[in-house]
Amino acid sequence: MRVGFIGLGSQGGPMARRIAEGGFETTLWARRAASLEPYADTPAKTAGTPAEMAAASDLVCLCVVGDDDVREVLGGDTGVLAGLAPGGIIAIHSTVHPDTCREIAATAAEKGISVIDAPVSGGGPAVEEGKLLVMVGGDDEVVERCRPVFATYADPIVHLGPLGSGQVTKILNNLLFTANLGAALSTLDLGEALGIPRVRLAEVLNGGSATSKALGSIAMFGGTVEGLAPIAGALLQKDVRHAASIAAAGSVPEGAVFTVADTALTDMDHPR
């Protein structure tokens, strides 16, 4: 399978490298030529436009930031859909609303192109170890065709159901992570009010039974989200909004998890 890849950031870049070095014919595209320079030592080729990249690919992987970014690289005369041949596949690794995936899939189907959603979790270090978590939604046969490519950087690869299932799962994961941030911040605020130094309490909780990935992130930044907010704040806000939209569409009560998540988002808007 020939693979095209767009989105060479801190997570997507290592994914693309693993694919190229895993023996798959790989073509890369990026808005800035400088983004392609780190891959000069790989077997990957480069393309001048998304359409040119797609024309050389059977599978196109997208690891851009959000919904509008996905639409932008797919559409138009130079977009992926203009170049990808019938029978091709688009894998959306970006975390976007499941309705965005369904909208794209409907347009792609008119051209004989399949779409799966495959958001990821774990970050660059997990990619380097081949242990990234991939949450997949889509047709069984299409997912199985993509599995060998995903296996170059991921374990486990979890097929959750039809198109959109991967996005719902990833958004719920990020909602709970945000709520864990909120719960940790509230606990640290309480401890500080009771006279326990914030940094010391974060250190203790991070080493005890109350630990979590969220608490570890807070402890890394001295018991606050000041250092985390510029990295993850806007992305988590996007995903919590998506979670609220999905819950509303399904007439499902939001529950306490949203209330606690709001604590973290408020802190990120106004970090200490």
User: Cβ(96)–Cβ(167) under 8 Å?
Assistant: yes
What is the per-residue pLDDT for 102?
98
Query: For position 140, what pLDDT does the model report?
Result: 98
Give 71-124 pLDDT, tens digit per residue. 999 999 999 999 999 999 999 999 999 999 999 999 999 999 999 999 999 988
pLDDT of residue 114: 98
Task: Return the structure tokens found at 227.
Answer: 């250092």
Total count of residues recorded for the chain:
272
Given 45, 131, 170, 238, the catalytic residue: 170
Report yes or no: 36 and 44 within 8 Å, Cβ to Cβ. no
- Output the pTM of the full model: 0.94
Average pLDDT, the chain: 95
Long-range contacts of 131-136 (CB under 8 A, 24+ apart): 131/155, 132/15, 133/158, 134/93, 134/158, 134/166, 135/160, 135/165, 135/166, 135/167, 135/169, 135/170, 135/173, 136/160, 136/165, 136/166
Q: Are 50 and 79 in contact (CB under 8 A)?
A: yes
Which tokens hold the place of 26?
Answer: 């790989």
Domains for the chain: give ranges and CATH numbers: 3-162 (3.40.50.720), 168-269 (1.10.1040)
Convert the pLDDT of each residue in 231-253 to its tens digit. 788 999 999 999 999 999 999 99
Low-confidence ranges of the chain (pLDDT < 50): none
CA–CA gap between residue 163 and residue 242 (Å, rounded): 16
Is 45 annotated as catalytic? no
Give 167's contacts (C-beta < 8 A, 6+ positions apart). Answer: 92, 95, 96, 97, 98, 101, 117, 119, 135, 137, 242
According to DSSP, residue 41 is labeled T
Angle (nearest 5°) at CA 122 between 174 and 70: 65
Q: What is the pLDDT of residue 272?
A: 56
